[in-house]
Amino acid sequence: MFTRSVFFLRKDGKMKILIRYFFEFVTFVLILLLIPLLYLLSKFRNRVRSLWSGSPIINMTVNVKAERLLGVDAITLVYDTYFITEAFDYNLKKICNMPVIRCFVPYFVFIWSCLFFDRFHFYFDRGLLPPRKSFEFNPFELSIYRFLNKQVFIWTYGADVRSKIVTEKLGEFNCCLECTDEGKACICDDARRIKNIVRVTRRVSGTFAMGDMKEYTIKSINDTFFWPVELEKYEPYFPDFEPAKTLKVVHAPNHRQYKGTKYIIEAVNQLKSEGFDIELLLVEGVPHDKAVEIYRSADIIFDQCIIGFHGYFAIEGMAMGKPVLCYIRKPDYLLYPEECPIINVRADSIKEVLRNLLLNPEILKLLGQKGRKYIEKYYTVSAFSERLKKSYLDGGFMK
């Protein structure tokens, strides 16, 4: 019985591979036939058309607005979404949940996008076509973009480039410290990481990384810092802490094991046992709009204490005028580190850092004000748009 089961599993796997190759062959033939139409459409376009797609990362919806400031017709498209947000221009989640139809959708979208878009933005783990292996960009898709002379830019978000060997070499505290999902949460295997990154880098117009993500990439542009915020959505609420008031710390881990959540819980509980009036509020599984409302009530934002680089949550916290605690492994991970007011904290120093803030609450508002100014200066949509423009000019992708 076991032998028969294995046989059918293998047979089913080979069938899926054959079906995928068949779809890719048909796609290639159709694109060849459509080349004259593609040429005509490109001649009649007076503005660059840009598509942001791949993994449904939240900041994609903001980045596209920055590119629009450069006179580009840019949109977002995703096949699925996380619980955080569904605010993409084209969200095909419902269609992709339909049996049978979902098999054809990526190929139809791919052909459509090749006809109507000049520039593409993805992450290292996938584009518009299904990846042949998890966390590996489909090589057929990359070849078609290159064949059609499309501009393709690849961005990082963390899991798409992070491998265990490189991560553990970064230091005592790292993203792999408490991981229980090896091979699932990140690409993990270093040989696969290198193969994928080399393949992608050689075939695209440019790649972008920042912070700890530049430890994993090759020849990437590392000074663009691509996590801007729409400042008008983040009205500042500076801490107005008084000794008789409970100090509220807000932490929003999408995955506890990668943010060092247990360490902040332990630190807060120990301080409580010592008589300090402090409260930890965990924000999990909450849509982004509702989560932001909770962030406003914070006296302190705690991002993470083991990864070594801040996340988008820290940017949002500073935009709202909150002091931010986060472990920053190297100063050069930051944009203008001498101006960044993030309080550097590791898993083994949280308690003492919080104790100092409890004993000196008057500095909370000052830190919050510095954070807001930092975001106003460097992390607005227009500020990122200028950095993006420079990257395009340097690469010869913009006149």
- CATH code of the domain covering residue 274: 3.40.50.2000
**Is residue 110 domain-shared with residue 157, that is, in the same domain?**
yes
Q: Which of 264, 368, 257 is nearest to 326 (CA)?
A: 264
**Is residue 254 domain-shared with residue 296, that is, in the same domain?**
yes
**Is residue 217 domain-shared with residue 350, that is, in the same domain?**
no
Does residue 202 belong to any structural domain of this protein?
A: yes
Q: Which residues of 295-323 are buried (b: 16+ CB within 10 A; e: fewer)?
A: beebbbbbbbbbbbbbbbbbbbbbbbbbb
**Is residue 296 domain-shared with residue 204, that is, in the same domain?**
no
pLDDT tens, residue by residue, 233-260: 999 999 987 777 899 999 999 889 999 9
Domain of 187 in residue numbering reads as: 11-228+389-395
Which two three-digit tokens encode residue 396?
Answer: 């010869």
**Is residue 115 domain-shared with residue 184, that is, in the same domain?**
yes
How many domains does the chain divide into?
2
Q: Which residue type sits at 46? A: N
**Is residue 31 domain-shared with residue 81, that is, in the same domain?**
yes
**Is residue 253 domain-shared with residue 214, that is, in the same domain?**
no
pLDDT tens, residue by residue, 191-202: 999 999 999 999
**Is residue 53 domain-shared with residue 179, that is, in the same domain?**
yes
Does residue 3 belong to any structural domain of this protein?
A: no
pLDDT tens, residue by residue, 48-59: 999 999 989 989
Task: For the chain, 399 residues long, give each residue's pLDDT as a single digit of tens.
Answer: 444 443 333 555 678 788 888 999 999 999 999 999 998 998 888 899 999 999 899 899 999 999 999 999 999 999 988 756 668 999 999 998 888 888 899 999 999 999 999 999 999 999 999 998 999 999 999 999 999 999 999 999 999 999 999 999 999 999 999 898 888 889 999 999 999 999 999 999 999 999 999 999 999 999 999 999 999 999 999 998 777 789 999 999 988 999 999 999 999 999 999 999 999 999 998 888 899 999 999 999 999 999 999 999 999 999 999 999 999 999 999 999 999 999 999 999 999 999 999 999 999 999 999 999 999 999 999 999 999 999 999 998 875
CB 224 within 8 A of CB 388: yes
**Is residue 349 domain-shared with residue 365, that is, in the same domain?**
yes
**Is residue 141 domain-shared with residue 235, that is, in the same domain?**
no
pTM of the model: 0.92
Does residue 5 belong to any structural domain of this protein?
A: no
**Is residue 208 domain-shared with residue 297, that is, in the same domain?**
no
What strands lie across the sheet with 324-326, from one edge to the other?
278-282, 247-251, 300-302, 324-326, 343-344
**Is residue 112 domain-shared with residue 221, that is, in the same domain?**
yes
